[in-house]
């Protein structure tokens, strides 16, 4: 611990790892003794239209030095208000603080650096300083490029499969609308999410095999044409099925509009339309699966519950209404994959591109771990 007493009425107790202490102390002392803090304080007050005449260092003391020196507030003209904090201070004034933090990060690692930042934020809150919450991250992949692992499959082959599936899905919907105008069908959903689905099919989803029960997957309802197109490529469906898309009740083999286990019991496992059913069903599926496992009513397995959700689908109250249940119950067997293609049924999503920030903040606030994949998908 370092105790800094630069003035009779200013005292700071700083706890840091041993190695970076000297550098941090030097940066702090230089910042306080060369008058930089006075210029920073004056600039902050001028930006907010506050006169700085008569402001003395003891105005800072009430927050930093503790109550034992409160009598000094009566000396001279002291402003009885919180010190205004400049929202965007010049980098040259804080560069040494940033450099000291970089040394802590390099010497002690990410965990210790994160604890240091958390301790400073906690101290600022205790001192009455407003610390804005940061629930959003930049539009970059959460996993840095340097930490990415090599793709385990044949990337060129998987790209070829993606192209074929995307084309078959589009052709199926287009041909059916030529024969039966107005029948509809969704093309853009799977076109924007094809890589997410294909990576799941090829590398993550576990099917039932032997005594292994397999994963539960709640497919996004409007992505059903892509799932049908992939099943056709695998030989599970024939051309007659695709020619009767959305005509499953005509007596010949056909395909339901959306995932429907009653109409297609050998193909679909869960209904996911109307919109919002998949997210809330997945949460409670994971919750009660964990309940049964904890009471030894079913065998504990590493299987997961997957829910593919669209950004426009999050308008539905069922999509977001039980997020805190998942974090409260620590459901690490639950994975949401949110495809942000900025579209909804009746137009662009609310806020357009800001929907990514909104959803990230909502999931972070509900206690979820939220990795992003903004590039390369």
Per-residue pLDDT tens over the stretch 288-334: 999 999 999 999 999 999 999 999 899 899 999 999 999 999 999 99
Task: Give the pLDDT band of residue 30 (cuts 50, 70, 90).
Answer: low
List the chain domain ranges: 2-132, 155-365
Alpha-carbon span 336 to 328, nearest angstrom: 16
> pLDDT tens digits for 245-259?
998 777 788 899 999
Cβ(84)–Cβ(128) below 8 Å: no
> pLDDT tens digits for 148-164?
888 888 999 999 999 99
pTM tops 0.85, yes or no: no
Report which of residues 63 and 114 the model is more confident about.
114
CATH numeric code, 155-365: 3.40.50.970
According to the model, what pLDDT value does residue 194 have?
92
According to the model, what pLDDT value does residue 356 have?
86
Alpha-carbon span 356 to 374, nearest angstrom: 10
Report which of residues 224 and 94 the model is more confident about.
224
Q: Spell out the alpha helix ranges (H) of the chain.
A: 21-33, 36-47, 58-64, 91-108, 110-126, 155-179, 188-199, 224-234, 239-243, 277-294, 317-320, 323-328, 355-365
Residue 183 predicted with pLDDT over 90: no
Residues 6 or more apart from 149 whose CB is under 8 A from it?
A: none
> pLDDT tens digits for 81-110?
444 444 555 666 688 888 888 988 999 888
Q: Work out the mean pLDDT of the chain and round it to a whole number.
A: 78
> pLDDT tens digits for 120-153?
988 988 998 887 777 777 878 888 888 888 888 8
> pLDDT tens digits for 225-240?
999 999 999 999 999 9
Average pLDDT over residues 361-365: 92
């Amino acid at each position: 611990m370092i105790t800094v007493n630069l003035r009779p009425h200013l005292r700071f107790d700083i706890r840091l790892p041993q190695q970076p202490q000297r550098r941090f102390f030097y940066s702090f002392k230089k910042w306080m003794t060369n008058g930089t803090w006075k210029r920073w304080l004056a600039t902050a007050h001028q930006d907010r239209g506050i006169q700085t005449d008569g402001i003395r260092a003891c105005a800072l003391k009430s927050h930093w030095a503790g109550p034992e020196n409160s009598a000094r507030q009566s000396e001279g003209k002291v402003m009885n208000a919180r010190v205004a904090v400049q929202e965007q201070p010049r980098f040259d004034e804080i560069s040494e603080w940033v450099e000291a933090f970089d040394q802590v990060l390099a010497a002690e690692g990410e965990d210790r650096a994160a604890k240091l930042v958390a301790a400073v934020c906690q101290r600022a809150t205790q001192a009455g300083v407003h610390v804005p919450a940061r629930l959003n991250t930049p539009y970059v992949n959460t996993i840095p490029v340097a930490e990415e692992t090599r793709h385990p499959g044949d990337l060129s082959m998987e790209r070829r499969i993606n192209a074929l599936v995307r084309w078959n899905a589009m052709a199926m919907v287009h041909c059916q609308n030529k024969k039966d105008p107005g029948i509809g069908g969704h093309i853009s959903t799977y076109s924007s999410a094809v890589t997410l689905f294909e990576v799941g099919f090829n590398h993550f989803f576990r099917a039932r095999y032997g005594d292994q029960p397999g994963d539960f997957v709640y497919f996004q309802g409007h992505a059903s044409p892509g799932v049908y197109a992939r099943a056709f490529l695998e030989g599970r469906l024939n051309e007659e099925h695709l020619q009767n898309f959305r005509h499953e009740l005509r007596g010949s083999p056909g395909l339901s509009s959306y995932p429907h286990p009653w109409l297609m019991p050998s193909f679909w496992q869960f209904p996911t339309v109307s919109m919002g059913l998949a997210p809330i069903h997945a949460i409670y599926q994971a919750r009660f699966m964990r309940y049964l496992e904890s009471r030894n009513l079913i065998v504990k397995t590493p299987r997961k519950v997957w829910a593919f959700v669209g950004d426009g689908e999050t308008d539905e109250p069922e999509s977001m209404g039980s997020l805190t249940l998942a974090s409260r119950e620590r459901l690490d067997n639950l994975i949401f994959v949110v495809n942000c293609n900025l579209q909804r049924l009746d137009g662009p999503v609310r806020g357009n591109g800001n929907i990514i920030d909104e959803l990230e903040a909502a999931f972070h606030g509900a206690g979820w771990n939220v990795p992003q994949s903004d590039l390369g998908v």
